Amino acid sequence: MGRSLIVLLGPPGSGKGTHGRRWAEEHGCLYVATGDLLREAIRHGTALGVQAQTYVARGELVPDEVMAQLIEEMLQKADRCVVLDGYPRTLVQAATLEGLAHRLGWQVAMVLLLDVGEQELIERLSARRVCPNCQAIYNLLSAPPRQDERCDVCGAALVQRDDDRPEVVLHRLAVYREQTQPVADYYARRGMLVTVNASGTPEEVYARLRQVTAR
């Protein structure tokens, strides 16, 4: 797939991380979550990381220009197709990504939208637990750890992220509808959007994802 970008869209809790990682591995692509990219830059104290940290420390959104530079750095280093999770989130970012891709010799090959009903998302996110040590993700309903509230990988105690609490989830979904749904509509108008029904178990969803991307 060479210098191809596969963009993953979907509301919080739709399974972008779970299915994006698996699909990327299966197709020999690099899976890139922009949140991880940001955390890594901050942890390593890069120039962009230091810049981003000033906003994160104040609880503010990292500006588009900083995110664009992080994406640009990643694309310059990437040596295979990239599955991009978490960017673009707005129409401005979608335009920025197209400009970057064009300038650096990449192509947005496909845009995947994982579509799930709101009630199911709230239930999923409220049951989600993460390992603070190795970032493994579990779901107490559909993918529980073998040992109660302990990470299968490293044994650390699992935690619930603050933004997975029901009242916060409702706010996150409202933000998604307002900001990111227009991005999906934008790609749909251009004939680039592939919608996947992401309701059901992880295995059911991934089977549908494989089916629609095999066409």
Annotated binding-site members for AMP: 34, 39, 60-62, 86-89, 93, 161, 172
Is 189 an annotated catalytic residue? no
Residues in the annotated binding site: 13-18, 34, 39, 60-62, 86-89, 93, 128, 131, 134, 137-138, 151, 154, 161, 172, 200
Q: Is residue 215 annotated as a catalytic residue, yes or no? A: no
Residue 80 annotated to the active site: no
CB neighbour list of residue 24: distance below 8 Å, 6 or more residues apart: 6, 30, 31, 83
Binding site listing for Zn(2+):
131, 134, 151, 154
In the set 161, 165, 177, 190, the catalytic residue is 161
Q: Which of 3, 21, 22, 172 is flagged as catalytic? A: 172
> How many whole angstroms separate alpha carbon 72 and alpha carbon 116?
30
For residues 201 and 125, what is the distance between their CA atoms, to the nearest angstrom?
Answer: 14
89 assigned to active site: yes
- The CB density around residue 105, as the number of other CB atoms within 10 Å, is 9
Collapsing DSSP states into helix, strand and coil, what is residue 64?
helix
Is 77 assigned a catalytic role? no
The catalytic residue positions are 16, 89, 128, 161, 172
